[in-house]
Structure 1
């Protein structure tokens, strides 16, 4: 049986992690990787060296999940706001026998602003995320991905939509 690799992108605060975790439970035999886990450093530094290290870590983990016979599904979520990021990840993976499902979660500006404000209130995000996230939102239109508007949708419905996407 072929494996399915789900690449789920979207701006910060759109709900990638929550949707990915829901999808993991609904799919079964599923591994989940959040790209942010590979950036969890203090101090957080974006340099050519750290970017390369993070990309290598992500691709190494994804390849290990793909090779592992236990998992039929792999869900990966990360901001992935540029086609180059998606292409680079896929170029470093052995996806032989894998169906690739590329999704961008999007929403209205108002919905994104509301989600991020709630996260800021809960101290899950810093205020500077708002501006960056809103500026990333229009970039997803240009990507070779299926766009799913998550504004006002239940988690189960979003996961179901993703599960029904075919390459």
Structure 2
């Protein structure tokens, strides 16, 4: 049976790094990042673009679900509300697919440190620190397996996810 694995978490928690390493650790897998559908310039968050991004994500996910070459479809994105996850899933044909939702969590100190590294490298803006910390609480309300990455290596987090997939 195929597995559709959603990995959510606030900015700076390590979603992309973990999803990439998980993709390397699983056989017949594909890794998709929801942010790829938002790489527009200038960045414009509005209802029209939001709906387009959701349709594009649904199309990509369904294409990989339908492809017999893939056993694991790993999708990471912020997904801080259950409604977002439900909207994506609602348009997918999940017959013979096991869905697993994972929320990566971290304490404030870890998030601050991670985002500060990204700010230094020019990847993030400093105001994202407060925004990310403020979103932590939202993940407690998402129906998902919670994994605290604060004291984990990337490999330890990947191993925890792999264990939850069995």
5+ long unaligned stretches in structure 2: none
- Find the aligned partners of 2:99 and 2:47 in 1 and give their Cα distance: 28
- Find the aligned partners of 1:18 and 1:162 in 2 and give their Cα distance: 13
Matches within 5 A, 1:68-87: 68-87=67-86
Deviation (angstroms), 1:5 = 0.6
Matched, 1:4 2:6: no
Q: Report the secondary structure of 1:164's partner residue.
A: helix
Deviation (angstroms), 1:74 = 0.4
Aligned residue-pair number: 166
Q: Report the secondary structure of 2:164's partner residue.
A: coil
Moved more, 149-158 or 65-74: 149-158
Matched, 1:104 2:114: no
Moved more, 151-160 or 105-114: 151-160
Matched, 1:150 2:149: yes
Name the residue aligned to 1:58. 57
Deviation (angstroms), 1:42 = 0.5
Deviations 1:52-72 (A, max 9, x none): 000001010000000000000
166 and 29 in structure 1: CA distance in 2 versus 1, 3 angstrom threshold: closer
Name the residue aligned to 1:13. 12
Deviation (angstroms), 1:160 = 1.2
- Find the aligned partners of 2:154 and 2:109 in 1 and give their Cα distance: 19
Matches within 5 A, 1:24-39: 24-39=23-38
Task: Say what the alpha-carbon RMSD is for the aligned residues.
Answer: 1.0
Name the residue aligned to 1:138. 137
**TM-score, structure 2 as length reference:** 0.97
- Find the aligned partners of 2:56 and 2:126 in 1 and give their Cα distance: 28
- Find the aligned partners of 1:31 and 1:94 in 2 and give their Cα distance: 18
Matches within 5 A, 1:31-50: 31-50=30-49
Matched, 1:125 2:128: no
Deviations 1:63-110 (A, max 9, x none): 000000000000000000001001111111111101111000000011
- Find the aligned partners of 1:130 and 1:18 in 2 and give their Cα distance: 18
